[in-house]
Amino acid sequence: MFKKVLVANRGEIAIRILRACEERGLKTVAVFSDPDRTALHVRYADEAYHLGPAPASDSYLRIDRIIQVAKEAGADAIHPGYGFLAENADFAQACIDAGITFIGPPPQAIRAMGDKVEARKTMQAAGVPVVPGTSDDVTDAEAIAAALEIGFPIMIKAAAGGGGKGMRIVYRADDLPRALASARREAKAAFGDDRIYLEKVISPARHVEIQVLADQHGNVIHLGERECSIQRRHQKLIEESPSPAVDEALRRRMGEVAVRAARAVGYTNAGTVEFLLDPDGNFYFLEMNTRLQVEHPVTEMVTGVDIVKEQLAIAAGRRLRWKQEDIHMKGWAIECRITAEDPFNNFMPTGGTVTYLKEPTGPGVRVESSLYEGMEVSLHYDPMVAKLIVWGETRAEAILRMRRALEEYYIGGIKTIIPFHIQVMNSTQFIAGHLDTRFVERFTVSHERPSDGRKVAAIAAALISHERAREAAVHIHIDQTTRSAWKWAARLEALRR
Ligand code: MV4
């Protein structure tokens, strides 16, 4: 086993990884940019090294500098976290070339999934269902022929893209030539690669992803699904596990397919296979994220598996400690991403000094945070400053708990997205589990606090429509004038047991 881990990241995820190292008795090295000199991850690690100025290209993306720091510090492993260099095959290779363990998949697996056209082909060959579309680099004439065959609307995606980057939707054949030209131009500018492919648009659809773990001895298991349909501009805001749309049988089928996808590219370590799930229960491979994901804690909460500690064990050559049949999901977990964005002003990112901080705690509550009182939240990096994760025995209990924890959360000095999350937890559609990728588009952020009466209406409607609460609901007498909505919902939940 390696002895000293360099965490090539910042913020909450750097701390999350440092904690796992601490529990495994490993020495830790943090790296930081100018504005992160006083960051929490720097203080948490045993040692910390300066990388460079604020721009990521001068600090957290500097492969040469990070490898140099690892050598200087005597680190024998590097964890990339998410974002930055996490899915950079050249970085993974540079670690290996320097005799340092890269805590993640092999560079070939990163490459195989990084090229989305290649990935589609590999997945098709492995029997993984992909969205109907084109699987080779297409000329304009071929694209037009393919689009006519697939039918409109059609999605144009960049081969080198991913995560929604360089994606566009085309509704009419007449618009296709121009859309193809501009998509190619954009892809060329963004990725230096103008290859594109077409897919049928699956809508409405849910974004459901499967967490996989693979060791270096050929064992691959999955840890069930996460539902990530609540996104804004391809930025996930709320994730949960299990998905309200997935039952045991579908989970088994999607899980088997995800394991097959991982095997097809010789995957090791932790990864996620993303699917679109349509209302009829058909699912289609979208892409594979070859890294630890932001939303990994919801899976940890329902499976009891510490994914980051497992990543360390896998990278050290250990065998997986579980067989598929040992994995059971218990209860329900929800994550709200806490961003420094103003939901009342079109989610504008905001910076500033954190003047006051009171984080929620109590039963079933987990906070992954980079915040401290006096911290300067800068606009140089991602606006996500923390994550609030709750666990409940049922989905209703998890929602009640999330709402309680959000109400306990006080962050002074900066604007945060918390009021938006409270409104989502109060919304009929969310409570009923009616989610799809356009949820946030349709959601109107209210500038008023909802009255108890309105909450009663929303919660009653939603919980009664919720399959497992229905039978309890008929036994309850609703007194709207004397009982607050959430007390009522809590009672309903208690009666359900
Ligand atoms: C799609 C799609 C519909 N049909 N592909 C967005 C992120 C990237 N991973 C793929 N994305 C989508 N691909 C086809 N063929 C809809 C989306 C999509 C989406 C997916 C998941 C969550 C939110 C989304 C918001 C807009 C579009």
Q: Which residues belong to CATH 3.30.1490.20 in the chain? A: 132-200
Q: Low-confidence residues of the chain, pLDDT below 70?
A: 449-497
Atom 26 of ligand 1 has which residue's CA nearest to it?
Answer: 437
Atom 7 of ligand 1 has which residue's CA nearest to it?
Answer: 164
Architecture of the structural domain at 4-103: 3-Layer(aba) Sandwich (3.40)
Specify the 3-state DSSP secondary structure of 10: coil
State the distance from the centre of ligand 1 to the C-alpha of 62, rounded, in angstroms.
Answer: 31
Q: Which residues belong to CATH 3.30.470.20 in the chain? A: 206-452
Q: Which ligand 1 atom is at minimum distance from the Cα of 438?
A: 25
**Environment class of 458 (CB within 10 Å of its CB; exposed 0-12, middle 13-18, buried 19+):** buried
122 to 129, 182, 205, 218, 288: CA distances (angstroms): 11, 27, 23, 19, 12
Integer Rg of the chain from CA: 23
State the distance from the centre of ligand 1 to the C-alpha of 164, rounded, in angstroms.
Answer: 6
Residue in 154, 276, 277, 436 to alter for ligand 1 test, most ligand atoms within 8 A of Cβ = 276
Beta bridge partners of 367: 388
User: Could you list the active site residues?
Assistant: 291
Question: Cα separation of 328 and 224, whole Å?
Answer: 9
Atom 10 of ligand 1 has which residue's CA nearest to it?
Answer: 164
State the distance from the centre of ligand 1 to the C-alpha of 48, rounded, in angstroms.
Answer: 39
Q: What is the pLDDT of residue 116?
A: 94
CATH no. of 132-200 = 3.30.1490.20
Q: What is the pLDDT of residue 136?
A: 79
State the distance from the centre of ligand 1 to the C-alpha of 252, rounded, in angstroms.
Answer: 23
State the distance from the centre of ligand 1 to the C-alpha of 331, rounded, in angstroms.
Answer: 28
**Environment class of 165 (CB within 10 Å of its CB; exposed 0-12, middle 13-18, buried 19+):** middle
How many Cβ atoms are within 10 Å of 405's Cβ, its own excluded? 25
**Which residues' Cβ are closer than 6 Å to ligand 1?**
131, 155, 163-164, 199-203, 205, 207, 229, 231, 234, 274, 276, 286-287, 437
How many Cβ atoms are within 10 Å of 325's Cβ, its own excluded? 7
Residue in 123, 131, 167, 169 to alter for ligand 1 test, most ligand atoms within 8 A of Cβ = 167
The domain made up of 206-452 has a fold known as D-amino Acid Aminotransferase; Chain A, domain 1 (3.30.470)
